[in-house]
């Protein structure tokens, strides 16, 4: 009987193990493990922000359009997107969606399918765009790519007369000409373009801009935006690179997109790890035939590849072979035509200027990869024949060039990058132009401001809800240029949007992940009052001056309870900011012994007639006492009585005769911390 029971238990364990292996709930199939930490710094207060929105180059209010979508308010959702992004149809298909990689949902189940929700909304009812009346200013835009058209869109909304000068016969730049048809349709580009031209934006096609015409534009228009992009492939300087069978990657993609026949043989090697390399490899895969082979050669590893992870995964699934840590050295030829690519194995050393680990050749490791065609996709080069490169330089935080009233953005400013970066640059440059013209930015509005009960948001995090599966063409049906991904239907999109955790309204991540309950969230009153500074004049009397405004905008704040915190760093790992909550947030001590034995921090002393919050910083003590009708702020240099309603100075007593001024900034911080301390230790 015992043997039978043990056998049954073992069988159940085997069944459970098999289920776990197959279950999506336990599967981690990321190429690179997700990390929601962003570059945003963590503040003492008001730290709530959505990491998806922080990461989006256009600043899309993703939680808001998720909220409208979940309620079936698709027109309003579409309007939210158009506030900062005039290309919802295009980016709904090809955006590298870094926002999605930072979704807080990755801690629970799957990241929201943000790009899919945008794609769905782009096909819904168009919000009515109402540009401001003409303001009398004229703007010229050079280049009808994502940056130039984005800039034109926002300038037109603000009432500018805008003309775009494009050297090609169609608008869209690299997006229009280089992105393969299995990723982006002509209809998506046309839809977004029509929206822009409907605002009155004029596009002059087949109009290249040379230095003479550039000078004329500067004289004719009040403002000029240069968004010429990076239309040239960067050279790869290895022996034999000019041999027959070596193709320019952009020319290859242009010709295939235009429907021209491309003969590339059965074996193709693509050099590079960026999005252009992925597009070239996936395009070549569709041309080499059933028995053909496409290989991507990259000097580093998957972890360092700049390409969109989704595109890397798609290439892998379609059968493209990846050879990591391989450095190309020579194109081997026979009778003047490509025969093979000679490479050496590489190893990664310390980081280089790009922040990625530097590949170094392993001596004696050379080998050859047989091939008929080589496509070196190692980057793109900006071409601006009408301006010197040094003239394109901008001040930090600005899109204004060294040439007065000439602005730039996108690839022309940052080098070859993504469509969403170019779109974001176009918008931000337009905002700068609008300010330079002394005007107010035109903002598209939606109907209903969203707001959630914090308890309901926390309940959402108690249940795992995985993202729906996006239908794709079967892998055995990819030798064509039909669109690979099928859009989700309305019900699936609404359900998916409802998974949003609305991190712009409530975070509390550091609270939920702390095993010791050392991070404490408390409800705080919103505060807004003039922040005052006390100056001692020549006769020793106090003089009160305003030095700005102290504002507390968010209703939830965080304290770190020093007595419970063992500084394990768990909150640091999960916090979406670049900082550590246990180090940055106010550190409250529950006992006076803990307070005096530690470094900086706070302690609340509750008496019958007062709540006294004591602060220790660099050995100095400060106290804010809450009395029935007033606050009293004490330092080693002064005692300041403050009004209970507006925190204004009522009375000052200087203790130190040498003191010349007293700032109340620390007192204002202590006022907020006092709210949390009182809620943690109520009478």
Q: What is the rounded average pLDDT of the residues 244-252?
A: 96
Q: What is the pLDDT of residues 216-226, one digit of tens each?
A: 999 999 999 99
- Whether residue 74 is predicted with pLDDT greater than 80 in this model: the reply is yes
Q: What's the rounded Cα separation, in Å, for the pair 239 and 143?
A: 35
* Whether residue 682 has pLDDT greater than 70: no
DSSP 602-658: EEEEE-SS-EEEEEEETTEEEEEEE-SSEEEEE-SSEEEEEETTT--EEEEEESSTT
pLDDT in tens, 20-69: 888 877 777 778 888 899 999 999 999 999 999 999 999 999 999 999 99
pLDDT at residue 1 tops 60: no
Is residue 463 classed as helix, strand or coil in its secondary structure?
coil
Give the range among 2-6, 246-250, 321-325 with minimum mean pLDDT.
2-6
What pLDDT digit, counting tens, does each position of 325-345 carry? 999 999 999 998 999 999 999
Mutual orientation of helices 114-122 and 186-197 as an angle, nearest 10°? Answer: 60
Half-sphere exposure of 455 (CA within 13 A, CB side): 0
Residue 352's pLDDT band, with cuts at 50, 70 and 90, is: confident
Distances (CA, A) of 59 to 50, 52, 101, 183: 11, 9, 15, 24
d(CA 329, CA 597) in angstroms, rounded, equals: 63
Spatial CA neighbour of 84 closest among 68, 65, 69: 65
pLDDT of residue 441: 66
Tokens standing for 34? 């997700």
Q: What does DSSP assign to residue 485?
A: B
Q: Assign 3-state DSSP to the chain and report helix, strand, coil percentages, each to 5.
A: 35, 25, 45
SS3 (DSSP) at 281: helix
Q: What is the pLDDT of residue 447?
A: 56
Q: What integer pLDDT is reported at residue 443 of this predicted model?
A: 58
Cβ atoms within 10 A of the Cβ of 651, count? 11
Residue with tokens 């026949």: 261
Full strand arrangement of the beta sheet holding 601-606: 519-523, 556-561, 587-589, 601-606, 611-617, 620-626, 630-634, 638-643, 649-654
Asked if residue 71 has pLDDT above 70, the reply is: yes
DSSP class per residue in 169-196 = SSS-HHHHHHS-TTT--HHHHHHHHHHH
pLDDT for 396? 80
Spatial separation of the C-alpha atoms in residues 60 and 118, rounded to whole Å: 10
Tell me the C-alpha distance between 442 and 423, whole Å: 17
């Amino acid at each position: 009987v015992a043997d039978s029971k043990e056998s049954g238990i073992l069988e159940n364990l085997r069944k459970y193990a098999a289920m776990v292996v197959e279950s999506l709930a336990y599967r981690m199939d990321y190429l690179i493990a997700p990390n929601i930490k962003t570059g945003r710094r963590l503040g003492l207060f008001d730290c709530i922000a959505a990491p998806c929105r922080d990461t989006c180059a256009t600043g899309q209010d993703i939680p808001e359009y998720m909220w409208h979508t979940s309620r079936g308010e698709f027109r309003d959702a579409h309007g939210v997107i158009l506030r900062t992004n005039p290309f919802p149809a295009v980016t709904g298909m090809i955006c590298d969606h870094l926002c999605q990689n930072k979704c807080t949902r990755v801690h629970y189940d799957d990241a929201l399918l943000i790009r899919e929700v945008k794609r769905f909304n782009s096909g819904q009812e168009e919000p009515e765009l109402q540009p401001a009346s003409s303001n009398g200013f004229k703007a010229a835009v050079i280049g009808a790519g994502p940056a130039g058209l984005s800039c034109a869109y926002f300038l037109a909304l603000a009432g500018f007369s805008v003309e775009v000068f494009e050297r090609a016969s169609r608008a869209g730049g690299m997006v229009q000409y280089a992105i393969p048809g299995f990723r982006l349709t002509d209809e998506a580009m046309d839809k977004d373009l029509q929206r822009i031209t409907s605002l009155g934006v004029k596009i002059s096609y087949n109009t290249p801009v040379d230095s003479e015409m550039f000078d004329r534009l500067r004289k004719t228009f009040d403002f000029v935006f240069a968004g010429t992009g990076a239309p040239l492939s960067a050279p790869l300087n290895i022996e034999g690179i000019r041999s027959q069978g070596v193709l320019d990657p952009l020319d290859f993609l242009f010709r295939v997109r235009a429907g021209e026949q491309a003969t590339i043989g059965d074996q193709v090697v693509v050099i590079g790890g960026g999005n252009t390399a992925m597009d070239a490899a996936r395009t070549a895969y569709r041309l080499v035939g059933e028995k053909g082979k496409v290989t991507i050669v990259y000097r580093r590893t998957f972890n360092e590849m700049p390409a969109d992870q989704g595109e890397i995964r798609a290439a892998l699934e379609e059968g493209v072979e990846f050879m990591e840590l391989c450095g190309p050295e020579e194109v081997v030829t026979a009778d003047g035509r490509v025969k093979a690519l000679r490479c050496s194995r590489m190893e990664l050393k310390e980081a280089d200027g790009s922040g990625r680990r530097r590949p170094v050749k392993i001596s004696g490791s050379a080998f050859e990869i047989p091939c008929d065609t080589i496509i070196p996709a190692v980057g793109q080069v900006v071409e601006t024949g009408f301006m010197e490169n040094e003239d394109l330089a901008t001040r930090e935080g600005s899109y204004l060039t060294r040439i007065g009233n000439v602005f730039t953005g996108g690839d022309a400013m940052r080098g070859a990058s993504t469509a969403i970066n170019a779109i974001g640059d176009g918008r931000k440059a337009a905002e700068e132009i609008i300010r330079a013209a002394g005007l107010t930015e035109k903002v598209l509005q939606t109907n209903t401001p969203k707001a959630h009960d914090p308890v309901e948001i926390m309940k959402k995090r108690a249940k795992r809800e995985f993202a729906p599966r996006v239908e794709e063409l079967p892998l055995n049906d990819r030798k064509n240029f039909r669109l690979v991904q099928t859009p989700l239907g309305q019900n699936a999109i609404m359900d998916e949007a409802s998974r949003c955790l609305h991190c712009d309204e409530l975070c509390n991540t550091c609270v939920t992940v702390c095993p010791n309950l050392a991070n404490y969230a408390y409800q705080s009153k919103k505060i807004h009052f003039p922040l005052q500074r006390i100056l001692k004049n020549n006769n020793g009397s106090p003089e009160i001056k305003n030095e700005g405004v102290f504002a507390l905008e968010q209703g939830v704040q965080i304290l770190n309870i020093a007595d419970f915190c063992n500084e394990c760093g768990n909150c640091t790992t999960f916090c979406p900011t670049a900082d550590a909550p246990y180090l940055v947030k106010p550190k409250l001590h529950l006992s006076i012994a803990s307070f005096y034995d530690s470094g900086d921090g706070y302690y609340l002393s509750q008496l019958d007639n007062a709540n006294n919050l004591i602060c220790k910083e660099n050995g100095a003590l400060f106290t804010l006492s809450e009395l029935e009708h007033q606050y009293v702020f004490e330092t080693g240099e002064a005692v300041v009585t403050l009004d209970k309603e507006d925190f204004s100075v009522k009375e000052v007593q200087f203790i130190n005769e040498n003191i010349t001024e007293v700032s109340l900034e620390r007192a204002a911080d202590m006022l907020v911390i006092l709210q949390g301390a009182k809620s943690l230790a109520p009478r």
